[in-house]
Chains A and B, each alone.
Chain A
Amino acid sequence: MTEQVFRKCSLLLSLAAWMTMPNQAQASEPLERRGEESDRVFLPGNFFTPAVASAPSVKRKPSLASVPSLEQLKLIESLTADQSKRLNELFRDYKSDISALQAELKGSPDAAAKASLQARISLRQNTLMEALKVIVKTEQMDELERKKKGMTSDSEVENLP
């Protein structure tokens, strides 16, 4: 622990010292001279260039089924107070059930028991989705879907007089 703190302090001190002497290296060695080598190192084909470029992507954990969260549902603008109250109750029970099942799953000893619990979790998710369909109208779910996809109705730029 002491060693860790010491290391952190040393790092900060050295950086602080560097910052108080900006461009120390540059001052002693003009940029023009430092740049005497060709700029090939910055061009395609340098050490870090992959042999085959892979497509840009984001690595994410797969989400649990397609069950919307309560917070997401609350983003539906046309949700009434009554719908909101019913959703709160629905999710209170759902979260309680799912937490218990997931705790069981975590402590489950064998693959068969795990599979059985996974099935019960899926079933509970399905019952939640069925209950949601009763509370939230189709057009309201569509509104949420549009938001999830980032669809907006960008207004025209208003010019300030």
Chain B
Amino acid sequence: MTEKLKGQQIRHLLRRAGFGFTPAEYLSYRDLDYDEAVERLVDFETEDNSALDALIESQNFDFTSGDDIKRWWLFRMLFTRRPLEEKLTLFWHGHFATSLKKVRNPYAMYVQNRLFRKLCIGDFGNLLLAVSKDPAMIVWLDNQQNRKGKPNENFAREIMELFTLGIGHYSEADVREAARAFTGWQVKNGVFSFNKGAHDAGKKLFLAESGNFDGTQVISILARHKQTGRFLAAKLLHFFLGPNFDRALLNKVAGAYEVDRQIRPMLKTIFLSKAFLSRENQFSLVKSPCQYVVGTLKHLQISTIDGDLPRLLSAMGQDLFAPPSVKGWDGGTAWLSSDTMMARFNFANRIIGEKMDALKKQGSLKDLLAEKGIDDQGTCVAYFLQLLVEGDVPPPVVKRLEDYLGKEPFLKGAESKTLLDERLRGLLHLIMTLPSYQLA
């Protein structure tokens, strides 16, 4: 494999397993073999993240504020040394979708988010058990009202439909029996509490097994069910690779789960697959708003998060801690609508403005460009296309971008300073509104 191809693959990996990369981050990965890069990203516990903890401490986030927990998470996505940990936390947030709008307790949502992060890559059974006892989840899916003799089936239904098996792999009778098993799983004083008086300890018949099951035993049956492995494999493949994968790869990823319910080997199987690295798969997934925003901040090397960033993300269709339904975000092309695209373009305009203002303070644009060997329209367009979309645009678009920069001699004469500034801002904005920039 050539060094250039390996570099492309590592950048692809950093986009998919994380949120893109700063130059410093890329530098720290580029000399690794691809397999080593995968190991480093997936076995992230070995990365020292104490600097992030110290940074967070210095920001005085208020974890009882809905806006601040959103800012805190974006801050983590941007500055963590463990990008896959945050990407997986986002994956589980969508999988076990829980919304602040109903829970109405930012602190409980923060606690749930910590839980996702802590258990994101290990034993799925342990994660499922912890989520089932999580106060925000209990409130979200009404298990507080699930009592012996008056079962509430919401949680029991979703744990099968959305968290483990998927529709078509359980019956209504299974839902009713599972609901009985989860009776008495409640929240008291902000923490999980088992209310023995509200629990139905009777015999249940669940997925062809019978016994005096409680919630933990139902979770155990679900976690070791073969279909759970397939369901999770398909969701992980969709999220990290995209919708185009074949049955053989699905079986392989599901097979990795069957060994001991671990998420880590499933991810390694995905990242090391030919399908993941294929040419067709690169720049084929629509960026989520988080990916778009955090990736842009990384690309432009901006280290200050605007306080209203959560609001902008919401306008792009991804309100963190408030997914649209129990199904989470659909992702893919569902991210794209006239309104959400305009929100992306407005964000790009604003962030370019901030960056260019900052750059102008450190020297003339003309000199900055000249330092990079940019001395005409062609080199200018090529440089920024390579930097922002790895050159992934058809030749006619390149030509139109070059035309946009104008016919007059580029970088010539002091009188063109303002024009150069305007054109450069315009060029960057145009590139960031290109279809390829919406893809990862």
Q: Contact: B303 with A55, CB < 8 Å? A: yes
Give bound CA distance, A18 to B387, whole Å.
20
> Would you give the 0/1 interface string for B151-171, flagging 1 where the beta carbon is closer than 8 Å to chain A?
000000000000000000000
Complex contacts, B270 vs chain A, CB 8 Å: none
List which B119-172 residues lie within 8 A (CB) of chain A: 119, 123, 125-126, 128-130, 133
Given A60-B307, A147-B63, A152-B114, decide whether A160 and B279 contact each other with a Cβ distance below 8 A. Answer: no
Q: A8-B338, A48-B301 are in contact. Are A157 and B61 (CB under 8 A)?
A: no
Determine the distance from Cα of A78 to Cα of B189 in the docked complex, in whole angstroms.
Answer: 7
Contacts of B78 in A (CB 8 A): 56
Known A-B contacts A23-B279, A26-B279, A157-B119; A34 and B392 likewise in contact (beta carbons under 8 Å): yes
- In the assembled complex, the CB of B396 is this many whole angstroms from the nearest CB of chain A, namely 10
On chain B, which size bracket covers the interface? 35 or more
Contact pick for B64, options A23, A48, A54, A144, CB 8 Å: A144
Binds A, one of B5-13, B230-238, B408-416: B5-13
Scoring A52, A150, A161 by chain B CB atoms within 10 A of each residue's CB, the highest score goes to A150
B420 shortest CB reach to chain A, Å: 13
B273 within 8 A of partner (CB): no
Q: Known contacts A8-B338, A18-B435, A160-B220; is A46 also within 8 Å of B304 by CB?
A: no
Taking a contact as CB atoms under 8 Å apart, the answer to whether A22 and B387 are in contact is no
A58 to B60, CA, bound (A): 10
Interface of A: prevailing SS:
loop
CB under 8 Å from chain B, chain A span 105-136: none
A157 close to B394 (CB less than 8 A) = no
B342 at the A interface (CB under 8 A) = yes
* In contact, A58 and B75 (Cβ under 8 angstroms): yes
Query: B194 on the interface (CB 8 Å rule)?
Result: no
- Select from chain A the residue with minimum beta-carbon distance to B55: A56
Q: Which residue of A lies closest to B356 (CB)?
A: A48
Chain B residues with Cβ below 8 Å from A25 are 391-394, 436
The answer, yes or no, to whether A1 is at the interface (CB within 8 Å) is no
B283 proximity list for chain A (CB < 8 A):
23, 26
Q: How far is the CA of A49 from the CA of B312 in the complex (A)?
A: 25
Inter-chain contacts of B129 with A (CB < 8 A): 158, 160
Measured in the bound complex, the distance between the Cα atoms of B134 and A157 in whole Å is: 12
Q: How far is the CB of B66 from chain A (nearest CB, A)?
A: 9
Main secondary structure of the interface of B (DSSP, over half): helix
Judge whether B314 is part of the interface by a CB distance below 8 angstroms. Answer: no
Q: Do A158 and B126 contact each other (CB < 8 Å), given the known contacts A32-B4, A61-B307, A150-B61?
A: yes
User: Are A39 and B338 neighbours in the complex by a CB distance under 8 Å?
Assistant: no
Q: Which residues of B contact A78 (CB under 8 A)?
A: 189
**Contact between A32 and B5, CB atoms less than 8 A apart:** yes
CA distance A160 to B261 in the complex (A): 11
A57-B303, A160-B220, A161-B216 as given contacts; A30 in contact with B119, CB under 8 Å: no
Q: Decide if A160 touches B2 in the complex (CB within 8 Å).
A: no
Interface status of A31 (Cβ within 8 A of chain B): yes
Closest residue on chain B to residue A50 by CB atoms: B301
**Measured CA separation A12–B336 after assembly (Å):** 8
Least Cβ distance of B320 to chain A in Å?
Answer: 14
A73, closest chain B residue (CB): B64
Chain A: which residue is nearest B384 at the CB level? A47
Asked whether any CB of chain A lies closer than 8 Å to the CB of B318, the reply is no
A-B CB proximity, top 9 nearest: A18-B435, A160-B125, A8-B338, A150-B63, A51-B362, A60-B307, A35-B4, A77-B190, A44-B23
Q: A39-B26, A54-B304 given. 16 additional CB < 8 A pairs?
A: A9-B338, A19-B435, A22-B280, A31-B5, A42-B23, A43-B26, A50-B359, A54-B303, A56-B303, A56-B305, A57-B305, A58-B75, A60-B71, A157-B119, A159-B123, A160-B125
Interface residues of A (CB under 8 A from B): 8-9, 11-12, 14-16, 18-19, 22-26, 28, 30-32, 34-37, 39, 41-61, 71-72, 75, 77-78, 144, 147-150, 152, 154, 157-161
Pairs A–B under 8 Å by Cβ, sample size 5: A18-B435, A47-B359, A54-B303, A77-B190, A144-B64
